[in-house]
Amino acid sequence: MKLRKIFENEYKNLKMIYVKLKSDPARKQYPYEGYMLNENEDGTMDIVVTSPESKSNYMTITPDQIDVTRSLTNIEKLKLIIAGTVADKNLVLMIKDLNTVSDIEATLISNGCTFEDLYEIFKRFFLIHNC
């Protein structure tokens, strides 16, 4: 096993925040991927880069360099769609800490959402994110 793979497995075991950086296809930059090591007071972040194409194993980045939509899990993407769809902000706050689709569904249904509302939410999710 290559040393890079060993380190990447260790980063995953440490539950570090995984990030993908935005890249500009016109400049043919490689998409950098890595794990956040430290968040600095000035808003920058120190990351260890795991992309094999990278020239450096360590970078300091700003938050606008992170491709947020590619770094989010499907559950987080679903929560964003719900936040943009559901008018009741208290319901959105209740869903914020849930980690499974069944818990999210149950919370929505028990707080007044209909099955048609759920259909519309999941339809948007699948149309936007092509999961």
Reported confidence tier of residue 29, pLDDT bands at 50, 70, 90: low
Q: Where are the domains of the chain?
A: 3-70, 72-129
Contact 127, 114 (CB under 8 A): no
At 68 the pLDDT is 61
Which pLDDT tens digit goes with each residue over 104-126?
A: 999 999 999 999 999 999 888 88
At 110 the pLDDT is 93
Which pLDDT tens digit goes with each residue over 30-87?
A: 556 777 777 788 878 888 777 666 666 777 877 777 666 665 778 888 888 888 888 8
| Domain range 3-70, its CATH number among 2.30.30, 1.20.120, 2.70.98, 1.20.1460 | 2.30.30
CB-CB neighbours of 118 under 10 Å: 15
In the predicted model, is pLDDT for residue 23 greater than 80?
Answer: no
Whole-model pTM: value is 0.49
At 119 the pLDDT is 92
Contact 96, 82 (CB under 8 A): no
Q: Residue 20 and residue 33: Cα distance in Å, rounded? A: 5
Give the closest residue to 35 by CA, choosing from 51, 24, 22: 51
